[in-house]
Amino acid sequence: MPTPRLEHSHRPADIASRLSEEPQASYLRDWIYGGIDGAVTTFAIVAGAVGAALSPKIILILGVANLLADGFSMAAANYSGTKSEEEDYARLLAIEEKHIAVAPEGEKEEIRQIFRSKGFEGEDLNDLVRLVTSNRSTWIETMMQAEYGMSSTSRSPVKAALATFVAFAVCGSLPLLPFLFGLGATAIYTTALTALAFFLIGSIKARWSTKNWVWSGLETTAIGLSAAGIAYVVGYLLQGLTA
């Protein structure tokens, strides 16, 4: 039986080199959120405009306005949300530092109960408590992860916002291409390009998943088109109410 191909080397020097690097924060979710929302909202605007028989020029203006305004709005919201997470981590970190300084025995008991809940007991548990609490930074990091579920890997609010905006603008621009190039049967082309945007998002994110890229693409397409379909139906019903 052939040896499975491993993702990285386990030679001591390679391990040391890899662990010496700072863990990289992931902005995958920001990119996916922005991409799907960009395609959905632009499709909804285009579908409503086509139903209202607006000219391609007006549809382009509405679409581009949406890309800039809604894209910036999403990016700003993501920036604020990520910044809040960063500030919350700093708040909890300050709490742990104060508690370790003021009530170290209580914090040691928390470490003891944390590792007891993981199945350690007796001398092994005592040794773990002693080792973890002998290093202040390790002690605090363990408490942050076990008590609050907080990771020490920080995500940049600016990078998170930028990932959202770029994904929103790129994926949201695809439904507008038929109007930009003056293609016929624009509703059909717009739907096809919107589906393509969803498929590309899903197939690309499979790189960070165990799923096959085709199935990941199809799954995201189904989710995205469902959201786009709901947006279209709501727009159609509201258009009927105002007619």
Model confidence pLDDT, tens digit, residues 56-106: 788 888 888 888 999 999 999 999 999 999 999 999 999 999 999 999 999
pTM to 2 decimals? 0.75
pLDDT of amino acid 147: 87
Tokens 């786009």 sit on residue = 228
Would you place residue 5 in the very low, low, confident or very high pLDDT band (cuts 50, 70, 90)?
confident
Residue 210 lies in a domain: yes
Angle at 77 (CA atoms; ends 72, 81), nearest 5 degrees: 150
The radius of gyration computed from the CA coordinates of the chain, to the nearest angstrom, equals 25
Q: Which residue type, as a one-letter code, is found at position 39?
A: A
Residue 14 lies in a domain: no
Residue 184 confidence (pLDDT) above 60? no
Q: How far apart (Å, rounded) are the C-alpha atoms in residues 10 and 158?
A: 35
pLDDT of amino acid 158: 93
Residue 13 lies in a domain: no
Would you place residue 205 in the very low, low, confident or very high pLDDT band (cuts 50, 70, 90)?
confident
Contact 143, 110 (CB under 8 A): yes
Residue 238 confidence (pLDDT) above 70? no
Tokens 């197939």 sit on residue = 203
**DSSP characters for 39-67?**
HHHHHHHHHHHHHTT--HHHHHHHHHHHH
Residue 188: C-alpha distances to residues 161, 176, 180, 198, 243 (Å): 32, 12, 15, 16, 24
pLDDT of amino acid 52: 66
Residue 213 lies in a domain: yes
Contact 157, 22 (CB under 8 A): no
Identify the residue with better confidence: 48 or 169. 169
Pull the structure tokens for residue 157: 């609010």
Residue 10 confidence (pLDDT) above 90? no
Pull the structure tokens for residue 61: 């203006």
Would you place residue 165 in the very low, low, confident or very high pLDDT band (cuts 50, 70, 90)?
very high
Residue 243 confidence (pLDDT) above 60? no
Residue 9 lies in a domain: no
pLDDT of amino acid 230: 75
Identify the residue with better confidence: 194 or 83. 83
pLDDT of amino acid 214: 85
Q: Say how many domains are in the chain.
A: 1
Q: How far apart (Å, rounded) are the C-alpha atoms in residues 222 and 243?
A: 31
What's the rounded mean pLDDT across residues 9-34? Answer: 78
Residue 39 lies in a domain: yes
Residue 124 lies in a domain: yes
Contact 33, 218 (CB under 8 A): no
Residue 15 lies in a domain: no
> How many angstroms from the chain centroid is the CA of residue 235?
28
Model confidence pLDDT, tens digit, residues 83-94: 999 999 999 999
Q: How far apart (Å, rounded) are the C-alpha atoms in residues 20 and 22?
A: 7
Residue 45 confidence (pLDDT) above 90? no
What's the rounded mean pLDDT across residues 154-183? Answer: 88
Q: What domain range is 147 assigned to?
A: 28-242
Residues with Cβ within 8 Å of 162's Cβ and at least 6 positions away in sequence, in order, are 75
Q: How far apart (Å, rounded) are the C-alpha atoms in residues 148 and 212?
A: 34
Q: What percent of the chain has pLDDT over 70?
A: 88
